[in-house]
Structure 1
Amino acid sequence: MINKRYFSHPAISCLLLGIASFLLVLGLQSLNILQVLELRSFDTFLAKRPAQPIDHRITIIGETEPDIRRFGHPLSDQVFADALQKAEEAGARVIGVDKYRDIPTPPGTDNLSQVLTKYDNIIWIFFGGDKKQNYIAAPPALDGNMARTGFNNILQDPDGVARRGMLFSDINGESYYSFPLLLSLYYLANEQIAAQLDGQTLTIGNVRVPQIDTNFGGYRQADTGGYQVMLDYPALKETFSTFTLSDLLDDKIPKEALKDKVVLFGAMAPSLQDYWLLPGEITRFGIEYHAYFISQILHIGTQQQHPMHAVSDKIEYAWLIFWCLVGTFTGLLRGGLRFFALITVEFIVLLGSYLVLLSQGEWLPFVSPLLGWICAFFSSIFYFFTQSRAERGQLMKLFESQVSPELASHLWDVREQFFSKEGILPDTLTATVLFTDLTSFTTISEHMAPELLVTWLNEYMEEMSQLVMAHGGMINKYIGDAIMAIFGVPVKRETEEEIARDAQHAVACAIEFGHKLTELNQKWAAQGLPTVTMRTGIYTGTMVAGSIGSKKRMEYTVIGDTVNTASRLESFDKTVAAPTLENPCRILIGTLTHHYVNDQFHTQIVGECLVKGKTDALTIYQVMGVK
């Protein structure tokens, strides 16, 4: 049978809370709730990267609003034929046209076909189709030519941001290159850099370009049809070298701006609405998206720059549960300046790890472990707070009205030394036990009305109890008119000095009993109430302390010969040093107590007695007063 105390151990509680937080985050991930936050954190990283220079191997020729006013819309085939001829004459290495031309637009249709036939470094787009738009073919002169046409589909995440790029896709039963990949491969071929597809992995030069899966990085259940990669947008905040169509046709572009470049033609007029949202809330034209994509592929081929990778699912789950456990154990250590410093350090480590790995091209989710850490942290704080409050309530219930508020507070501070869910941990300790009893109480009770008797007795008990607590003692129980108090519990004393101090406090308390009873007798006499005297027995020794009783009725007490001896001292020969109204409290102590208090109090031997279980007689001393 499993021990319940095993599960109550703080470390086990932290482990279970950590696992619960881990499962909670996994549940949120499965519902795709965290993906948008993960993607936004990725965007923030891209925006905060050190600035990189724009890729000068790419030049954009944009169709602007002035061009539309000049040449009309759509642009005629002749305008395209003239523009492409100009770019070829300037020495462009490869030319890409991001304009649909599935339907000829005269005049100049034949001229455009001749240019496309003459030059084999011109790549034209077609649209592969999606849920919103059907397939749009390339120009008739190039339609079906897989080496000269590439699809220009742009992938958008649910928040509308284009973070991914597609390299290959199966369209109408054929596998096609994307527009950016086809242009990049043409450019790299002139650099003697080849690409090959080995099985399911593309290699450009010496760099493997693995495709992303449905749970890549911060994605969950993403549509990863085709061969997709993550875009890192080098020089995201910068713009490429850009000229207008009119600049090209009017020979206003320096030849060096086009020579040996990737020259891209595309819409850059607001009225054409070819806008796309990129990471960091940056809006760019579609042709610029393709330019960033091409730049990334060129960096892979020429600079061996690896594309973004994602850590494996096993590492991701291990990282998540690690931070969940960090959060729960941090919650266990709550409170204090060091606690807040630890929280700060943990957050810096989590964020720093994320940023360092991203800068190295490894995407490890940030929001999921952050949320796991936070959930685990607050669940730990809540759990241990409620547990602590319950334990405090149980502790206070055990010691209710038995100790002073100061001692109760101290007991709570050191609770781990002696407290468990089952109650006070049993222990053997050395303490001082004090018993008191009123003389002739039976006779008094027989001649007083019950209500008056209880009121009178409670007044006496209240005053004596206050004195016990004022001297650091604990009221253990009331037995009729008798009081049992203990000095030196429940916190175990470790040194002789502490044990001696408890004995001295007990004797000093008994002396105060006498003074207080004198005051009470004067008051009672004036009220016509009975006056009394009392006997006190004090003994110091070892005893067993712990919680005794049933689950519904539990109390803290001590047992052992020391308790019995203190009781015997209180009831020892009632004719010896009998109390009087002038000296209403007889105080008898045993040998060990006398050893601890002899240097502070006047004492005298009044007799000896045999204690059950002992062979030597116990010497009994009467306390006469303070030295």
Structure 2
Amino acid sequence: MRLSFHPIKAFARSCWSDRTSAQGTPSVLVAGLAATLLSVGLWAVGAWEPIERVAYTSLFLVRDRLHPIQWDERVAVIAIDEASLAAYGAYPWSRDQYTQLLDRLMAVQPAAIGLGILMPEAASEDAQLADSIRLSSNVVLAIGSDPYGNFLQVSPSLIGPTEGFVRLGHVNHLSDTDGLSRQAFLYEIEGTQIAASFAIAIAEAYQHSLQNLITAEPIDVPQIRSEFLTQPHRFDRTSPLWINWPGATRQPAATSPQSQLTTLSFVDVLTDEDGDLIDQLQNKIVLLGYTSVGMVGETREAIRTPFERRIPTASIYLHAAIVDNLLNDRFLRRLAPGWALVCIALVGFGSSLVLKPLKVRGRLLVMLAALPLWSALVYGSFLTGLWLPVAAPMGASVFALMACQFVEQRERQTLMDLFQINLSPEMAKFIWQHQQELLTDGMIHSQTLRATLLFVDIRGFSAISEKLPSDILLPWLNRYFEVMTDCIMAHGGIVDKYIGDSIMAAFGGLVTQTEETTIRHSAIAAVHTSLAIIERLQDLNAEFAAKDWPQIKLGIGIHTGTLVGGTVGSRHRASYSLFGDTVNIAARLQEVTKTMAGDIRYPILLSDATYEYVHTHFQLEKRGRILLRGRTEETTIFTPTDDLSPSWERSAPASLTPLPPTTRQVPNLPANPAS
């Protein structure tokens, strides 16, 4: 049997649509805009850059473990290492050593040779070295700067005889504040002159040698350089390129030889009598540089890479990495600023759209899932050479979470402000859970309700207020309101308003109720509340008597009917209020209790409408039919004489604790109260 999930999908889409629309598009936009602006602002001032640098390093380490790439086999390094210094003495060497190297390499014909050693001073051996450079015709000499920023050219005694046979390239390099070399300039501008980098000069020498090579693969470096010089819109002369490090320069023994950069010791190359070692350099791009730990420190050659963060390595490997990137066109690309803004905005607004309808736990789960998902996307893009921003989008997502929490808190506060403070914690939670049924753009929209109204009024308040001084009247009245409000809230009621000394409370007057069982629960809770008020009043009067304050007598009217609820007021002050004939009937019923003070057990009157819902839970006495003030039809009224409900039910908040069905009947009560 084939199952169809289309109805389930349709239902899910409907629920999501209802939920998101209920939360309000403006609040989602506000949260998204706030998150985006904050993240973009931090991105604009570079606050995210330290995290991006950590991400840069982490991406290389993860790739090296999961998807390692190989150094280009056409690149090799001849290292002036500790063994070479032990064999030929301390730095500086005689230039005869470099002449011997070039003569030795001539036997295997490397495609290009880069001498990454500055030679600004003249030496007596320059003539012999110049001859070897001319014979090789594919040599690149290094130029650069001293520790004081002075530009260092090649010695005239060396450059003059080799003009037309040698290329020059600068070996200056960049380091970030954490010491890592992540970027490189392909060209250095000195006044009106543009000097190619060491790697670019080597690539050009390699290109020039391609016509004599059979195995080498071509690379159109002159075209790249031409485009750089003639199309500044494509190549920014002042901006460096991001280096895509192929791997570590000091590979562990377990590393596959195919993934290592070919590195030979200077002394081994010169003493290789069999030629087996030097044959590896045939048709290769050979770079010569210092790798000895002592020499690296003394000559400012130390660099740090994503793989050598603690123990620095030699800068000759930096030039090798740039040559590798040139040969394979695999420099890292970062998003252009405009696209980065789009990315941050999409994440900010998208996160708000997803997070806003969820509860706190759901939001946290989404955030926990989003981090690995975004990391996987960044890593996948990194494998293709595109470095997506990490910190700013994730920051936008976190800010969206915070903004959603803030907006929700403001909405909650708005809702609570509209209801003032006269809500039990249970009812406050209930209201918030049903906010989509109540709020529209921060206001409680008008709705027709069926609820039970309870009016409480102090008998003889005018006479009491005339006699009491103000320093006693207000504490006396506030204490009364406090106790009565606690009783109402304890049973799930809502104090709609205080009218002088009167209290108007509603049960079920928040969300539209259509089920008779729910309406019945609200009515029962209202009657429970009225009896609790009378009971609590005895303790309150005892408290007042101890202070020599006036005693309080009450009248309570209860009616169940149709109401209109919504926000009333102006933009300066608004509150939730209930209106309708139900309010009038409840108020008139409490007025009638004045005339029955000596005839009824409790000063509580119920309408026949309320009776229909509560008569199985209370012993009620019918008091006949009366014409209430302002009405044209008579109303049958009842007064409670006893509570038949179980004790656990008497304190149960309306609409929060379901009541069990009952078939109990009160004897001697008419089935039809209107008869």
TM over 0.5: yes
The aligned counterpart of 2:269 is: 248
Task: Give the unaligned 5+ runs of structure 2.
Answer: 1-21, 252-259, 645-665, 667-675
Amino acid at match of 1:339: R
**Residue 550 of structure 1: CA displacement?**
6.5
Q: Quick one: which of 326, 343, 354 aligns to 1:297?
A: 326
Rate the CA distance shift 1:135–1:605 in 2: closer, same or farther, 3 A. same
Amino acid at match of 1:279: T
**Residue 125 of structure 1: CA displacement?**
0.7
**Residue 319 of structure 1: CA displacement?**
0.4
SS at match of 1:319: helix
Q: Quick one: which of 198, 201, 211 aligns to 1:179?
A: 201
The aligned counterpart of 2:140 is: 124
Amino acid at match of 2:115: V
Amino acid at match of 2:510: P
Amino acid at match of 2:29: L
The aligned counterpart of 2:349 is: 325
Amino acid at match of 1:366: V
**In 1, Cα distance between the equivalents of 2:69 and 2:624?**
99
**Residue 512 of structure 1: CA displacement?**
5.3
**In 2, Cα distance between the equivalents of 1:37 and 1:540?**
63
**Residue 394 of structure 1: CA displacement?**
1.9
Task: Give the unaligned 5+ runs of structure 1.
Answer: 1-7, 215-222
The aligned counterpart of 1:363 is: 387
Write out aligned runs for 1:9-408 (5 A).
Answer: 11-50=25-64, 51-65=68-82, 67-68=84-85, 71=88, 73-101=91-119, 103-107=121-125, 109-121=126-138, 123-127=139-143, 132-137=149-154, 140=157, 143=160, 145=163, 148-159=166-177, 160-167=179-186, 173=193, 178-186=200-208, 188-189=210-211, 190=213, 191=216, 193-195=218-220, 197-198=222-223, 213=236, 223-224=238-239, 229-237=241-249, 238=251, 240-252=261-273, 254=276, 255-269=278-292, 270-271=294-295, 273=299, 275-280=301-306, 281=309, 283-298=312-327, 300=328, 306-329=330-353, 332=356, 335-385=359-409, 387-388=410-411, 390-391=413-414, 394-395=417-418, 398-400=420-422, 403-408=423-428
Q: Is the 8 A contact 1:468 1:509 kept in 2?
A: yes
Amino acid at match of 2:588: R
The range that moved more, 52-61 or 475-484, is: 475-484
Q: Is the 8 A contact 1:46 1:279 kept in 2?
A: no
Q: Is the 8 A contact 2:169 2:195 kept in 1?
A: no
**Residue 361 of structure 1: CA displacement?**
0.8
The aligned counterpart of 1:543 is: 563
**In 2, Cα distance between the equivalents of 1:199 and 1:432?**
83
**In 2, Cα distance between the equivalents of 1:336 and 1:66?**
63
**Residue 45 of structure 1: CA displacement?**
1.8
**In 1, Cα distance between the equivalents of 2:541 and 2:319?**
103
Amino acid at match of 1:120: S
Amino acid at match of 1:285: A
Deviations 1:538-597 (A, max 9, x none): 32211223454567776544322222223333444976xx3438x432544333223223
**In 2, Cα distance between the equivalents of 1:534 and 1:102?**
107
**In 2, Cα distance between the equivalents of 1:284 and 1:106?**
32
Amino acid at match of 2:369: V
Could you tell me the TM-score, scaled by structure 1's length? 0.77
Rate the CA distance shift 1:248–1:390 in 2: closer, same or farther, 3 A. same
Write out aligned runs for 1:458-537 (5 A).
Answer: 467-476=487-496, 483-511=503-531, 536-537=556-557
The range that moved more, 265-274 or 461-470, is: 461-470
Q: How many residues align?
A: 590
SS at match of 2:565: strand
SS at match of 1:365: coil
Rate the CA distance shift 1:89–1:274 in 2: closer, same or farther, 3 A. farther
Deviations 1:381-410 (A, max 9, x none): 34543x2574366256x243xx54543443
Write out aligned runs for 1:572-583 (5 A).
Answer: 572=592, 578-580=596-598, 583=600
**In 2, Cα distance between the equivalents of 1:29 and 1:442?**
65
Could you tell me the TM-score, scaled by structure 2's length? 0.72
Q: Is the 8 A contact 1:99 1:266 kept in 2?
A: yes
**Residue 83 of structure 1: CA displacement?**
2.4
SS at match of 2:263: strand
**In 2, Cα distance between the equivalents of 1:470 and 1:490?**
16
Q: Is the 8 A contact 1:433 1:563 kept in 2?
A: yes
Rate the CA distance shift 1:495–1:341 in 2: closer, same or farther, 3 A. same
Deviations 1:156-206 (A, max 9, x none): 144354333454567774775733323432454423625165587669xxx
Rate the CA distance shift 1:501–1:90 in 2: closer, same or farther, 3 A. closer
The range that moved more, 595-604 or 497-506, is: 595-604
Amino acid at match of 2:218: I
The range that moved more, 264-273 or 68-77, is: 68-77
Q: Quick one: which of 614, 619, 626 aligns to 1:597?
A: 614
Amino acid at match of 1:115: S
Amino acid at match of 1:283: P
**In 2, Cα distance between the equivalents of 1:20 and 1:520?**
51
**In 1, Cα distance between the equivalents of 2:485 and 2:441?**
28
SS at match of 2:370: helix
SS at match of 2:173: coil
Q: Is the 8 A contact 2:382 2:388 kept in 1?
A: yes
Deviations 1:102-131 (A, max 9, x none): 555335x4443433333334x031416698
Rate the CA distance shift 1:580–1:157 in 2: closer, same or farther, 3 A. same
Q: What is the Cα-based RMSD across aligned positions, in Å?
A: 4.5
**In 2, Cα distance between the equivalents of 1:188 and 1:594?**
104
Rate the CA distance shift 1:292–1:322 in 2: closer, same or farther, 3 A. same
Q: Is the 8 A contact 1:161 1:276 kept in 2?
A: no
SS at match of 1:489: coil
**Residue 360 of structure 1: CA displacement?**
0.5
Matched residues, percent identical? 23
Rate the CA distance shift 1:391–1:129 in 2: closer, same or farther, 3 A. same
**In 2, Cα distance between the equivalents of 1:482 and 1:461?**
9
Q: Is the 8 A contact 2:602 2:639 kept in 1?
A: no
Q: Is the 8 A contact 1:431 1:488 kept in 2?
A: yes
SS at match of 1:348: helix
Deviations 1:64-91 (A, max 9, x none): 4554565455433433333222221244
**In 1, Cα distance between the equivalents of 2:573 and 2:218?**
85
Deviations 1:475-527 (A, max 9, x none): 44566665544332234433211112222333344455666678889999999
SS at match of 1:106: coil
Amino acid at match of 2:322: F
Rate the CA distance shift 1:361–1:437 in 2: closer, same or farther, 3 A. closer
